[in-house]
A and B are shown apart, each in its own frame.
Chain A
């Protein structure tokens, strides 16, 4: 019974923690412009993140080594440093975007300008990372993020035209060019497979001291929790396709993105969805800030983690503090958080192979894994995804320039 409870709790946390500002923005944007015609990318992305999160989680459980350890160990100091610079920069952008998203949710709830909320969000996030236990932190915000299920319920309550949405699955309803379509496909893939998710997932496994015995729970989280989280992403896109696409409205603010829930359930729906957005973005603020600390500490071999007291991981906690301050400062320049999100997604997509190749290699190395090396299915899919990710990485930035970031 206790075991069942632990598995369920883990799955619920994974669902609630899956959606962040990137998924929210990319899906709402894509839903309003391309209907359901990019839903397949979310499916591809979710399969990919399940595949690599499972490998990273398995490596962490069996050998105790998190992802950035593997990156440095397999790529060597030079390519590892390049990856660190790229990942750290993208992480910082994502962190800024998440802080901005949480502040925007608070603006929607209170009417007070988001810029006034930004320092408060940053301070509270830092306090949580400074004092709250890892498990508590992950559980509370993961579960609160479940409020986003309101998107799924709202979709059915809105009485959508299922025939039309079904038709969109295979036919692009927009008259934008192919380049724009593919640009958003890359952004959606970046949203679903953001590298910080595997940094956080595998480091979290070490924080919670997973062993071989936890492999079952870990797999349940990944293979049930992540796809259901992906379903929430698709629901966000479907809501936008139902509400905005027929009226030719292009979504570009968070206020618009939460509207479908309001249309379906009035004030209560709106309150729930704003709460959900806040919980999801605030939870992701913690995840990205911690990931920046994890990646740099794991590259240089510093003591990291919340499983020791802050003073025993001084450089790690200093990194958390400094990244949070820099991200807050970035958003306070009044740069549009939604724009920051879009850019962070594209750069994430471009950096994917650098992170996932070492994971794939080590998951096959019996030196680390003993008898828990990849099976045939993981390797076939892993190889296919490596090819896909390399194509995406090459295409991402040129597509961004060619389409002026999807204008």
Chain B
């Protein structure tokens, strides 16, 4: 059985997360993965503690630093939305269930917006009880930590660095009906060329022609590595095959995206 094929950067990262009633919740700032033989995605991570490390640099450190300062815990973790709650994955991700809102939203509402006249705010005496923070989950891997990692082939020769992670929805069952997104492959680019925009992969995003040509040229020589070809997902990632045996990325969609997605 083949599940739906997604790419973490292209289809999940930075998308809006929406409640079932249409209210906006957060962004997919990062994804949490369960390591192991066949790693899979366990939760969406959101908030500055997830976003900061991805932004990096001074701005990223500032983001995480400020948040740590205001959080009471010893070692605060980002907000976690289990993948089992995620319903539809489209231009936004819909989550069901009771997901607590961000603490900043709550603080701003209670201290700034509600006291203003005409806010339609509740009587200050009738504040909703503070949601209980879920117990911290043992630190798992973050998917974004894979991105940017160096990749070397069987003989230790450099192949490039990870630009995106392919996920296939055929992992273990989460909750009752949803299957987990299993890490099924890596998109490896030969040099640091920044963001991939989906022009390399098709079938989506093939025009305009000039943009496609420029972006494909920037990412020429990109390879696709299936998870079975990964010997050691450490740093650097070591492969079981020589560089020449890897599939060029351009062949990924001519070969199989059409048959694999569904």
Which A positions have Cβ atoms within 8 angstroms of B? 63-65, 69, 72-81, 130-131, 300-304, 308-312, 314-315, 317-318, 321, 360-361, 364-368, 373-374, 379-380, 382-383, 386
Whether a CB of chain A sits under 8 angstroms from the CB of B260 is no
Interface 9-residue window, one of B105-113, B172-180, B249-257: B105-113
Whether a CB of chain A sits under 8 angstroms from the CB of B208 is yes
| Contact of B210 with A383 in the complex, beta carbons under 8 Å | yes
| Contact of A374 with B208 in the complex, beta carbons under 8 Å | yes
| Contact of B211 with A383 in the complex, beta carbons under 8 Å | yes
Whether a CB of chain A sits under 8 angstroms from the CB of B203 is yes
| Contact of B92 with A65 in the complex, beta carbons under 8 Å | yes
1/0 per residue, CB under 8 A from A, across B236-251: the answer is 0000000000000000
Give B208's nearest chain A residue, CB to CB.
Answer: A379
| Contact of A301 with B113 in the complex, beta carbons under 8 Å | no
Interface 9-residue window, one of B53-61, B66-74, B152-160: B53-61
Complex contacts, B197 vs chain A, CB 8 Å: 74, 361
| Contact of B206 with A76 in the complex, beta carbons under 8 Å | no
Give A304's nearest chain B residue, CB to CB.
Answer: B24
A300-B26, A365-B198, A383-B210 known; 6 new pairs, CB 8 Å cut-off, are A76-B195, A130-B116, A302-B24, A302-B105, A303-B24, A309-B120
A301-B17, A364-B205 as given contacts; A314 in contact with B112, CB under 8 Å: yes
| Contact of A65 with B16 in the complex, beta carbons under 8 Å | yes
Q: What class of interface size applies to chain B in its complex with A?
A: 35 or more
Residue among B17, B91, B104, B209 making CB contact with A65, cutoff 8 Å: B91
Instruction: Find the residue from B104, B112, B122, B208 having the highest chain A CB count within 10 A.
Output: B208
Complex contacts, A373 vs chain B, CB 8 Å: 207
Whether a CB of chain A sits under 8 angstroms from the CB of B27 is yes
A-B pairs under 8 A by CB, number: 122
Q: How many Å lie between the Cα of A74 and that of B14 in the bound state? A: 8
Give A78's nearest chain B residue, CB to CB.
Answer: B55
Q: How far is the CB of A310 from chain B (nearest CB, A)?
A: 5
State the 9 A-B residue pairs at the shortest beta-carbon distance, nearest first.
A301-B27, A314-B109, A63-B91, A379-B208, A314-B108, A301-B26, A303-B24, A314-B113, A383-B208
Complex contacts, A78 vs chain B, CB 8 Å: 54-57
| Contact of B208 with A318 in the complex, beta carbons under 8 Å | no
| Contact of A76 with B208 in the complex, beta carbons under 8 Å | no
Complex contacts, A304 vs chain B, CB 8 Å: 24
Give B59's nearest chain A residue, CB to CB.
Answer: A81
Instruction: Find the residue from B14, B194, B205 having the highest chain A CB count within 10 A.
Output: B14
Give A358's nearest chain B residue, CB to CB.
Answer: B197
Whether a CB of chain A sits under 8 angstroms from the CB of B204 is yes
Q: How many Å lie between the Cα of A383 and that of B209 in the bound state? A: 9
Give B26's nearest chain A residue, CB to CB.
Answer: A301
Give B24's nearest chain A residue, CB to CB.
Answer: A303
Which B positions have Cβ atoms within 8 angstroms of A? 9, 11, 13-17, 23-27, 29, 46, 51, 54-57, 59, 90-92, 102, 104-106, 108-109, 112-114, 116, 118-122, 194-195, 197-198, 203-211
Residue among B14, B108, B207, B211 making CB contact with A318, cutoff 8 Å: B108
| Contact of B55 with A77 in the complex, beta carbons under 8 Å | yes
Majority DSSP secondary structure for residues of A touching B: helix
Complex contacts, A360 vs chain B, CB 8 Å: 208, 211
Q: How far is the CB of B190 from chain A (nearest CB, A)?
A: 19
| Contact of B23 with A310 in the complex, beta carbons under 8 Å | no
Complex contacts, B59 vs chain A, CB 8 Å: 81
Q: How many Å lie between the Cα of A159 and that of B152 in the bound state? A: 77
Complex contacts, B122 vs chain A, CB 8 Å: 311
Residue among B29, B55, B120 making CB contact with A81, cutoff 8 Å: B55
CB pairs A–B below 8 angstroms (27 shown): A65-B92, A72-B27, A76-B14, A76-B195, A78-B55, A78-B57, A301-B17, A301-B25, A301-B26, A302-B24, A310-B113, A310-B120, A311-B114, A311-B119, A314-B106, A314-B112, A315-B108, A318-B113, A361-B197, A364-B206, A365-B205, A366-B205, A367-B205, A374-B207, A380-B208, A383-B209, A383-B210
| Contact of A368 with B207 in the complex, beta carbons under 8 Å | no
Q: How far is the CB of B126 from chain A (nearest CB, A)?
A: 13
Complex contacts, A318 vs chain B, CB 8 Å: 108, 112-113
Q: How many Å lie between the Cα of A361 and that of B10 in the bound state? A: 12
Q: How far is the CB of A323 from chain B (nearest CB, A)?
A: 14
Q: How many Å lie between the Cα of A321 and that of B54 in the bound state? A: 29
Complex contacts, A312 vs chain B, CB 8 Å: 23
Complex contacts, A74 vs chain B, CB 8 Å: 195, 197
| Contact of A382 with B204 in the complex, beta carbons under 8 Å | no
Instruction: Find the residue from B24, B51, B55 having the highest chain A CB count within 10 A.
Output: B24
Complex contacts, B17 vs chain A, CB 8 Å: 301
Give A209's nearest chain B residue, CB to CB.
Answer: B22
Residue among B91, B108, B211 making CB contact with A361, cutoff 8 Å: B211
| Contact of B204 with A365 in the complex, beta carbons under 8 Å | yes
| Contact of A77 with B14 in the complex, beta carbons under 8 Å | yes
Q: How many Å lie between the Cα of A300 and that of B16 in the bound state? A: 9
A301-B16, A301-B46 as given contacts; A77 in contact with B54, CB under 8 Å: yes
| Contact of A80 with B14 in the complex, beta carbons under 8 Å | yes
Complex contacts, A380 vs chain B, CB 8 Å: 208
Complex contacts, A301 vs chain B, CB 8 Å: 16-17, 24-27, 29, 46
Q: How far is the CB of B28 from chain A (nearest CB, A)?
A: 8
Q: How many Å lie between the Cα of A304 and that of B27 in the bound state? A: 13
Complex contacts, B56 vs chain A, CB 8 Å: 78
Q: How far is the CB of B258 from chain A (nearest CB, A)?
A: 13
Complex contacts, A73 vs chain B, CB 8 Å: 14-15
Instruction: Find the residue from A73, A77, A364 having the highest chain B CB count within 10 A.
Output: A77
